[in-house]
Amino acid sequence: MRDRSIEESRRSHAAITLREALTAATSFLTESEGLREYAARDAELLLLHHLRIDRSRIFSDPNRVLTEEEQSLFWESISRRAASEPIQYITGTQEFYGLAFEVTPAVLIPRPETELLVEAALKLLPRDQPLRIADIGTGSGAIAVAIAHHLPQARVTALDLSPEALSVARRNAEANHVADRIDFLHSDLLAAVTGQGFDAILSNPPYIPTTDLAKLHPQVRDHEPHTALFAGPTGLDLYARLIPQAYEALSPGGLLALEFGYGQQDAIRDLLADWKDLSFLHDLQHIPRTALARR
């Protein structure tokens, strides 16, 4: 089994155990340099996903034989992973701030860096007061849903230019039982709500320079939506539009929280020169990642 290719395994439907499936899939993924480091982890995650079993079953029952259908689904997912498709798109799920989210190729995969923005906002916003909050470029709805979940008196407006992304975000709001407090609007940044007095505006906008396209890992470059990744040659095009709009849409003293990319802190500082209480937070790699400011 170790020397048999994935395609041969899929065609043969020969009996294969949990242990053999993991060994073969890990070996196959290891052939790709970009996937080698996490080949064993990815093979295990995909096997657990398709078999709907707990990780302990791999150790307690390693000789359990996969059904023909289980084999077919598993090999298909391994082939997709070998083509650098993100695990989250294959399984259709990603955890964010302790909540489960559906993800599709229509939305950016929520990342730990964005949890920093949510955590900072929750520390600065009162839990026991009615608040009006906007999430710009909501994508999967990760920020909007997490905020609504943890601020039970808040009303959130989630805006996105992509109708497909808004559909995913709505489903995530429903699945996490906060859909009754989130309004979803098709909008280019804040165009659909100009002039409204929000208590906070949060956003993880596209910020990767288009000049960095070739440098990205294939699983990002070839699979995640470019409209959610890139923002002009410097990556700052959206901030130059969003920050002035946010100033007009916030109430006096309202909070603006923005995620930004590597090397962009000075430019963000300049764009927020007329704001109060400007501060920056670093991610787990000690990279400046989140800007906080008051109108």
- Which domain CATH number covers 62? 1.10.8
Cβ atoms of 90 and 163 closer than 8 Å:
no
Which residue, 162, 154, 169, is CA-closest to 99?
Answer: 169
Q: How confident is the model at residue 2 (pLDDT cuts 50, 70, 90)?
A: very low
Going by C-alpha positions, the residue among 287, 294, 232 that lies closest to residue 113 is 287
Same domain, yes or no: 167 and 246: yes
User: Are 153 and 44 in a shared domain?
Assistant: no
Of the residues 26, 52, 83, the one at which a domain ends? 83
Residue 14 pLDDT > 80: no
Rounded to whole angstroms, how far apart are CA atoms 266 and 82? 39
CB contact set of 61 (below 8 Å; sequence gap of 6+):
18
Q: Are residues 228 and 118 in the same domain?
A: yes
| Residue 198: φ, ψ to 5° | -85, 150
| In-domain check, residue 258 | yes
**Position 99 pLDDT exceeds 90:** yes
Query: Whole-prediction pTM value?
Result: 0.90
Helices (H), the chain: 6-12, 18-30, 39-51, 56-60, 68-82, 87-91, 112-124, 142-150, 163-175, 218-221, 237-249, 265-271
Whether residue 225 is predicted with pLDDT greater than 90 in this model: the reply is yes
Mean pLDDT, rounded, for 73-102 = 97
Confidence of residue 8 (pLDDT cuts 50, 70, 90): low
How many Cβ atoms sit within 10 Å of the Cβ of residue 202? 29
Q: How many domains does the chain fold into?
A: 2
* Sign, CA torsion 252/255/261/264: positive
Residue 71 pLDDT more than 90? Answer: yes
| pLDDT at 164 > cutoff 80 | yes
| Least confident residue range of 5-14, 77-86, 119-128 | 5-14
- Which band of pLDDT confidence, cut at 50, 70 and 90, is reported for residue 65? very high
Mean pLDDT, rounded, of the chain: 93
Please say if the pLDDT value at position 132 is more than 60.
Answer: yes
Decide if 41 contacts 47 (C-beta within 8 A). Answer: no
Residues 278 and 184 in one domain: yes
pLDDT in tens, 226-243: 999 999 999 999 999 999
Q: Rounded CA gap, 141 and 158, in Å?
A: 7
CATH of the domain at 189: 3.40.50.150
Contact, 68 vs 77, CB < 8 A?
no
Amino acid found at 41: R
94 is a domain residue: no
Window from 13-17, 60-64, 100-104, 220-224 with minimum mean pLDDT: 13-17
Place 194 in a pLDDT band, splitting at 50, 70 and 90. confident
Whole domain around residue 33: which residue ranges?
6-83
